[in-house]
Amino acid sequence: MEDLTEMLKGTLEGCVLEIISTEETYGYAITRRLNDLGFTDVIDGTVYTILLRLERNGLVQVTKRPSELGPPRKFYALNDAGRRELATFWAKWQYVSTRIDRLRKGGR
């Protein structure tokens, strides 16, 4: 599937939050996780900008750890504000997706 970028606006950040919430992980791994999920065109640069935004907005806790095979990694974990943000993201997603599905099926 190609050219999903516009449709991912507003949702990709939530996806990253969700991934971080399940396990403490780092940018490069998050990118591959998203690619494995089917978002094959999402590149690392995009993920890093999201992570920097999350950090700037105080939604994550960052821990730098050395790696066996490369430069040190920045591990991300959600804090309380991040968990709240994730909850509101899923609430919004639920709201929007049900309504769009309803529209698709000709409902009102």
> Stretches 48-56, 63-71, 73-81, 90-98: which one binds a second copy (CB under 8 A)?
90-98
Please provide the DSSP assignment of 18-52 as one string: HHHHHS-EEHHHHHHHHHHHT-TT--HHHHHHHHH
Residue 93 exposed, middle or buried by CB count within 10 Å (0-12, 13-18, 19+):
middle
Q: Which residues in the 34-63 window bind DNA by CB under 7 A?
A: 41-46, 48-53
Residue 74 found at the interface with DNA (CB under 7 A): yes
- Closer residue to a second copy (CB): 5 or 79: 5
Instruction: State in angstroms the smallest separation of the CB of 70 from DNA.
Output: 4
